[in-house]
């Protein structure tokens, strides 16, 4: 995975959606497969997945004032139902925002894995295989598809998919969940509801010179400096 | 494909190839001096006012605006018809080389989506050989360029503050607009860096922080929102399409032909160029235009390709020195980031400010370098990042459910980044040449690149990483970048998009392609105005210097034209 985004614009890379898409896998995938195995027999990772029909991207010169997704969505109904359910588990509803599945982020996952670009196709292989694995594992453990399992059974599965140090047999399932989780985070927090959840304030034209941090933010900064035993930089006193 | 050459309609004095930073400045300066100009631009016509979607959230775009091979810097990025690849216009590499060549195909070139960081080169940057015996000196020094820096800063609109450091010249009063206030992560980096003896200063950025009135192309102060890489319909960031080009057109002396891919310089009598040949990118038809002088401003690579494809087969035009295509450099690049626990959950406020960094870290180790205490020659700087928004996944633990939501809230605004840009010294293994077999879809032979970093660049990046990490550690940060050897964290050649040097200027025709005014030694009416002429590629981003040298070269050319020197 290369850092394709121009890093002169690196403020973006530490701050926006693009960073997650571009840097996510590098840091979060490739889990160290040395940990303890889960208390059940892990089913085999699917050997292959169905190929995707050939589609077109948006091209090098799309109309930027009327953005459109030109490719069709390709998740099957049951796959989409599983993804939506996973969305509401990975990022559940709470006082601050709705669940990611309910909010429709599953459609974004579908858009992503159906896109004809190399990164998205690699993710498709991971996600489709992962969904297949999840159902197979659920059937072995609970006799039914993941969506039909009880909440507690599903939670147990998600726990083993997010262990800090996976066992060798769990390396691919955990890498799948890493990727899916990161895609949900990207899809969810780039929506207005997700931005509101993070308390994001911005995207508002402000006339005149940039006002800088609020008094509250300044006060927090001063406290932080003191705790780090650093002195106030001269430039910020202006 | 019709091949019969056709002469263009109305007479022009100068034909300018390219409409980016260099071509835009040439057109502006020459037309203001009364010279009749024709711009030939390979890309399509482009109007930021009509085409930029400034306010749309990334969630309106396919894949949340994520970069793809079609739009590498994101869906809304203003690059038209290009990127790392251009349809039907390939380039090749020698075995073992990794080189990326960024090309837009649009009016205004890369100024429509560039990063706008515009430091001045300093005295050492123009005389690197004199300082450390590597590379070559420029035939001019800082004092020759300073007045042009002053004028360009006022002309394009640059904000910033004094720097007051060795080899970082300050602008005289009246050149710069006031810089924006720093944000919290920037102030925090400043405090940590300063405690370690690393200076931090206001960045110089080509973004207006005050209105810039003009009858033809009025530009407004930045309203502190919206990503600049999409382009700026209010003209706050400098792009030739909202400033120099409309101003030049208003003189009545400029004609612009877009979709005009210049294939070669055509020679006339007395060793002078007669004009150029171009291919209409839409029809494939070939045309010729004649002019008293030819300005090449197609960007370093394309300008070099044009010369190599002109003149003598196999040797190219203006290449009696044999230096054409050699001395290619790009800036070094590497990115470092950390999660800072003390910033987690900090009070929210609007952190948009002007697009991009408000402050940066200039190179500060010239004394140590002079004393031979560093294992690399030449400098680097850090560009600074860190803002509220979606944290990188590296900053998120492997959890799900309410823990994940909480982790995102915590990490939003709690990661900071330092991005290194460093000087590369020209080496004999890094150059471009014409590929002997591959041609583009117009039948024009393509460029082949050879690229290699030397020990200087590798050691420099390793040093930069230690410095960046020392700042992060001072803030109790968790380092997020992977622990790999410097060779593996460095960007590929060309990836920083500061390609320079392939038709370098000098005092001696035997070892350089052009004089300090960009005039080729061999053909006195062919003038180069882009980064190809740079004698070295300092760590400071090049475009302010491209603009200053293009202004200087254009005024000289206008004088020569009016004095009858090129009759
Ligand atoms: C994402 C990004 C960020 C950047 N950030 C910074 C920064 O922060 N600071 C900085 O100083 N620099 C930055 N740069 C670099 C900067 O954009 C370039 O240095 C500058 O634009 C070069 O100007 P130019 O006129 O030489 O080339 P360009 O601006 O590329 O213009 C050349 C023009 O010539 C046209 N052309 C090419 N070949 C032909 C042909 N054969 N016939 C006719 N026309 C032709 C092209 O279509 C193009 O329009 C950045 C670049 C990018 C892409
Ligand atoms: S941030 Fe300012 S300069 Fe950049 S695009 Fe927006 S208004 Fe223009």
Cβ-defined contact of B187 to A235 (cutoff 8 Å) = yes
Residue of A nearest to B53 (CA): A65
Q: Alpha-carbon torsion A127, A128, A129, A130, what sign?
A: positive
Q: Residue A31's pLDDT is what? A: 63
Is A16's pLDDT higher than 60?
A: no
| Among the listed residues B209, B115, B122, B215, the one whose alpha carbon sits nearest the alpha carbon of residue B158 | B209
Cα separation of B115 and B196, whole Å? 28
Give the ligand at the shortest distance from the Cα of B230.
2
Cβ-defined contact of B385 to A236 (cutoff 8 Å) = no
Q: Which atom of ligand 2 is nearest to the CA of B231?
A: 5
Residue B267 phi/psi, 5° resolution? Answer: -90, 150
Q: Residue A10's pLDDT is what? A: 33
Could you give the residue ranges of the DSSP H alpha helices within B184-315?
184-195, 244-250, 300-308
Q: Whose CA is nearest to atom 27 of ligand 1?
A: B299
Edge-first strand listing for the sheet containing B254-257: B254-257, B37-40, B14-17, B293-296, B526-528
Q: From the CA of B49, how far away is ligand 2's center (Å)?
A: 13
Give the containing element (helix H, strand E) for B39. Answer: strand B37-40
Q: Residue A1's pLDDT is what? A: 25
Q: From the CA of B455, how far away is ligand 1's center (Å)?
A: 28
Q: Which atom of ligand 2 is nearest to the CA of B208?
A: 3
Q: What are B527-536's pLDDT values in tens digits?
A: 999 999 999 9
| Among the listed residues B490, B493, B516, B495, the one whose alpha carbon sits nearest the alpha carbon of residue B504 | B516
Give the ligand at the shortest distance from the Cα of B228.
2
Contact criterion met (CB below 8 Å) for B244 and B25? yes
Cβ-defined contact of A27 to B482 (cutoff 8 Å) = yes
CA separation, residue A210 to residues A214, B159, B206, B345 (Å): 11, 13, 16, 23
Residue corresponding to tokens 């960073």? A19
DSSP A66-113: S----SPP---HHHHHHHHHHHHHHS---SSS--TTTTTHHHHHHHHH
**Distance of residue B201 Cα from the nearest chain A Cα, in angstroms:** 8
Cα separation of A77 and B491, whole Å? 42
Q: Does ligand 2 lie within 6 Å of residue B163's CB atom?
A: no
Q: Residue B226's pLDDT is what? A: 95
Q: Whose CA is nearest to atom 6 of ligand 2?
A: B226
Q: From the CA of B544, how far away is ligand 2's center (Å)?
A: 19
Q: From the CA of A133, how far away is ligand 2's center (Å)?
A: 47
Percent residues over pLDDT 70 in chain B: 98
ipTM: 0.93
Q: Residue A4's pLDDT is what? A: 29
Q: What are B377-424's pLDDT values in tens digits?
A: 999 999 999 999 999 999 999 999 999 999 999 999 999 999 999 999
Contact criterion met (CB below 8 Å) for B211 and B222? no
Cα separation of B163 and A165, whole Å? 48
Q: Residue A30's pLDDT is what? A: 57
Q: Residue A14's pLDDT is what? A: 32
**Distance of residue A216 Cα from the nearest chain B Cα, in angstroms:** 7
Q: Does ligand 1 lie within 6 Å of residue B245's CB atom?
A: no
Residue of B nearest to A116 (CA): B68
Q: What are B499-517's pLDDT values in tens digits?
A: 999 999 999 999 999 999 9
Is B6's pLDDT higher than 90?
A: no
Please state, rounded to an integer, the average pLDDT across all residues of chain B.
Answer: 96
Average pLDDT over residues B62-81: 97
User: Do strands B478-479 and B526-528 pair parallel, antiparallel, or not at all (unpaired)?
Assistant: unpaired
Which residues does residue B339 pair with via DSSP β-bridges, in sequence order? B415, B478
Q: Residue B313's pLDDT is what? A: 87
Residue A158 has its nearest CB partner, among B60, B183, B400, at: B400
Q: Does ligand 1 lie within 6 Å of residue B18's CB atom?
A: yes
Residue A67 has its nearest CB partner, among B60, B224, B358, at: B60
Confidence of residue B2 (pLDDT cuts 50, 70, 90): very low
Measured between beta carbons, the chain A residues lying within 8 angstroms of B42 are: none
Cβ-defined contact of B115 to A9 (cutoff 8 Å) = yes
| Chain B residues 510-549 within an 8 A CB cutoff of chain A | 541
Give the containing element (helix H, strand E) for B557. Answer: helix B543-562
Using the CB atoms, write b or e for B428-441: b if 16+ within 10 Å: eebbbbbbeeeebe
| Chain B residues 231-270 within an 8 A CB cutoff of chain A | none
Give the containing element (helix H, strand E) for B132. Answer: helix B128-132
Residue B190 has its nearest CB partner, among A158, A212, A235, at: A235
Confidence of residue B314 (pLDDT cuts 50, 70, 90): confident
**Distance of residue B14 Cα from the nearest chain A Cα, in angstroms:** 31
| Chain B residues 73-132 within an 8 A CB cutoff of chain A | 73-76, 78, 80-83, 87, 114-115, 117
Cα separation of B170 and B158, whole Å? 13
Q: Does ligand 1 lie within 6 Å of residue B543's CB atom?
A: yes
Residue B408 has its nearest CB partner, among A21, A59, A185, at: A185
**Distance of residue A165 Cα from the nearest chain B Cα, in angstroms:** 10
Residue of B nearest to A94 (CA): B402
Is B7's pLDDT higher than 60?
A: no
| Chain A residues 176-235 within an 8 A CB cutoff of chain B | 177-178, 181-182, 185-187, 189-192, 197-214, 216-217, 219-221, 224-225, 227-228, 230-233, 235
Cβ-defined contact of A189 to B359 (cutoff 8 Å) = no
Give the containing element (helix H, strand E) for B294. Answer: strand B293-296
Chain A contact present for B368, CB below 8 A? no
Average pLDDT over residues B341-354: 97
Residue corresponding to tokens 């004698």? B535
Q: From the CA of B232, how far away is ligand 2's center (Å)?
A: 6
Q: Whose CA is nearest to atom 1 of ligand 2?
A: B355
Is A119's pLDDT higher than 60?
A: yes
Q: Calculate ∠ Cα A124-B482-B415, nearest 5°.
A: 90
Cβ-defined contact of A181 to B409 (cutoff 8 Å) = no
Cα separation of A86 and A181, whole Å? 9
**Distance of residue B519 Cα from the nearest chain A Cα, in angstroms:** 31
Confidence of residue A29 (pLDDT cuts 50, 70, 90): very low
Q: From the CA of B357, how far away is ligand 2's center (Å)?
A: 12
Chain A contact present for B405, CB below 8 A? yes
**Distance of residue A169 Cα from the nearest chain B Cα, in angstroms:** 18
Cβ-defined contact of A190 to B55 (cutoff 8 Å) = no
Cβ-defined contact of A212 to B192 (cutoff 8 Å) = no
Average pLDDT over residues B170-199: 98
CA separation, residue A159 to residues A79, A154, A166, A170, B310 (Å): 20, 9, 11, 12, 66
Q: What are B446-490's pLDDT values in tens digits?
A: 999 999 999 999 999 999 999 999 999 999 999 999 999 999 999
Chain B contact present for A123, CB below 8 A? no
Confidence of residue B201 (pLDDT cuts 50, 70, 90): very high
Q: Residue B542's pLDDT is what? A: 98
Write out the two tokens for B293.
Answer: 């002088």
Write out the two tokens for B465.
Answer: 């990483």
Q: What are B115-164's pLDDT values in tens digits?
A: 999 999 999 999 999 999 999 999 999 999 999 999 999 999 999 999 99
Give A231: exposed, middle or buried? Use CB within 10 Å, 0-12, 13-18, 19+: exposed
Confidence of residue B284 (pLDDT cuts 50, 70, 90): very high
Q: Which atom of ligand 1 is nearest to the CA of B550?
A: 25
Confidence of residue A227 (pLDDT cuts 50, 70, 90): very high
Residue A155 phi/psi, 5° resolution? Answer: -60, -40
Residue B342 has its nearest CB partner, among A210, A213, A224, at: A224
Percent residues over pLDDT 70 in chain A: 85
Report helix, strand and coil shares of chain B as percent, to nearest 5. Answer: 30, 20, 55
Q: Residue B188's pLDDT is what? A: 98
| Among the listed residues B413, B425, B381, the one whose alpha carbon sits nearest the alpha carbon of residue B129 | B425
Residue A14 has its nearest CB partner, among B65, B180, B415, at: B415
């Amino acid at each position: 995975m290369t850092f394709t985004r121009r890093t002169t614009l690196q403020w973006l890379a530490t701050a926006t959606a693009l960073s997650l898409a571009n840097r996510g896998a590098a840091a979060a995938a490739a889990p160290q497969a040395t940990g303890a195995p889960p208390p059940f027999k892990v089913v085999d990772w699917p050997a292959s997945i169905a190929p995707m029909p050939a589609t077109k991207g948006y091209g090098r010169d799309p109309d930027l004032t009327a953005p459109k997704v030109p490719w069709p969505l390709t998740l099957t109904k049951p796959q989409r139902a599983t993804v939506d359910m996973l969305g509401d588990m990975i990022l559940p509803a709470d006082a601050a925002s709705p669940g990611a599945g309910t909010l429709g982020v599953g459609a974004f996952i579908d858009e992503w894995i159906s896109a004809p670009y190399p990164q998205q196709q690699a993710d498709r292989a991971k996600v489709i295989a992962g969904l297949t694995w999840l159902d197979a594992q659920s059937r072995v453990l609970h006799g039914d598809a993941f969506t039909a399992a009880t909440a507690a059974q599903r939670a147990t599965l998600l726990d083993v998919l997010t262990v800090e140090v996976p066992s060798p047999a769990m390396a691919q399932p955990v890498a799948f969940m890493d990727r899916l989780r990161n895609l949900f985070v990207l899809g969810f927090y780039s929506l207005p509801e997700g931005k509101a959840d993070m308390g994001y304030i911005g995207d508002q034209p402000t006339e005149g010179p940039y006002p800088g941090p609020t008094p509250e933010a300044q006060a927090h900064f001063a406290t932080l400096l003191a705790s780090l035993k650093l002195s106030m930089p001269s430039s910020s006193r202006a | 494909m019709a091949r019969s050459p056709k002469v263009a309609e109305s007479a022009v004095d100068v034909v300018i190839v390219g409409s980016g930073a260099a071509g835009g400045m040439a057109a502006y300066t020459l037309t203001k001096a009364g010279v009749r100009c024709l711009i030939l631009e390979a890309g399509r016509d482009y109007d930021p006012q009509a085409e930029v979607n400034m306010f749309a959230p990334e969630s309106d775009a396919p894949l949340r605006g994520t970069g793809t091979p079609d739009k590498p810097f994101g869906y809304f990025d203003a690059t038209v018809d290009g990127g790392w690849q251009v349809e039907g216009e390939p380039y090749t590499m020698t075995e073992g080389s990794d080189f990326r060549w960024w090309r837009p195909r649009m009016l205004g070139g890369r100024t429509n989506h560039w990063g706008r960081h515009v430091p001045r080169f300093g005295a050492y940057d123009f005389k690197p050989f004199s300082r450390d015996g590597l590379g070559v000196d420029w035939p001019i020094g800082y004092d020759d360029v300073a007045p042009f820096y002053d004028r360009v800063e006022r002309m394009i609109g640059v904000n910033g503050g004094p720097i007051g450091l060795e080899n970082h010249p300050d602008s005289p009063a009246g050149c710069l607009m006031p810089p924006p206030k720093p944000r919290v992560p920037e102030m925090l980096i400043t405090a940590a860096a300063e405690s370690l003896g690393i200076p931090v200063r206001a960045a110089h950025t080509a973004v207006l922080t005050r209105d810039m009135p003009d009858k033809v192309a009025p530009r407004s102060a930045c309203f502190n929102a919206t990503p600049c890489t999409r382009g700026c319909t209010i003209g706050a960031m400098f792009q030739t399409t909202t400033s120099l080009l409309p101003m030049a057109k208003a003189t009545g002396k400029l004609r612009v032909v877009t979709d005009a891919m210049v294939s070669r310089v055509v020679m006339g009598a007395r060793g002078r160029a007669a004009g150029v040949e171009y291919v209409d990118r839409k029809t494939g038809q070939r045309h010729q235009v004649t002019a008293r002088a030819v300005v090449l401003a197609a960007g370093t690579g394309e300008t070099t390709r044009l010369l190599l494809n002109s003149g003598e087969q196999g040797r190219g035009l203006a290449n009696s020195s044999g230096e054409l295509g050699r001395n290619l450099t790009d800036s070094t690049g590497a990115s470092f980031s950390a999660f800072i626990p003390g910033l987690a959950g900090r009070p929210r406020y609007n952190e948009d400010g002007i697009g991009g960094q408000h402050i940066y870290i200039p190179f500060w180790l010239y004394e140590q370098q002079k004393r031979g205490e560093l294992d690399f020659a030449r400098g680097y700087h850090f560009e600074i990042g860190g803002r509220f928004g979606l944290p990188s996944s590296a900053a998120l633990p492997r959890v799900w459910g309410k823990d994940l939501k909480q982790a995102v809230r915590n990490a939003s605004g709690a990661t900071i980044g330092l991005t290194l840009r460093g000087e590369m010294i020209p080496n004999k293994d890094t150059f471009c040449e014409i590929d002997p077999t591959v041609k583009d879809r117009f039948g024009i032979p393509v460029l082949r690149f050879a690229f290699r970093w030397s020990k200087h660049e590798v050691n420099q990046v390793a040093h930069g990483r230690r410095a960046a990490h020392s700042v992060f550690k001072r803030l109790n940060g968790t380092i997020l970048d992977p622990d790999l050897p410097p060779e593996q964290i460095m960007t590929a050649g060309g990836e920083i998009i500061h390609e320079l040097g392939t038709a370098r200027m000098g005092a001696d025709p035997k070892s350089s392609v052009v004089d300090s005014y960009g005039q080729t030694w061999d053909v006195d009416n062919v003038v180069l105005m882009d980064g190809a002429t740079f004698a070295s590629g300092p760590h400071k981003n090049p475009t302010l210097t491209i603009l200053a040298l293009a202004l200087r070269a254009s005024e000289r050319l206008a004088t020569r034209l009016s004095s009858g020197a090129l009759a």
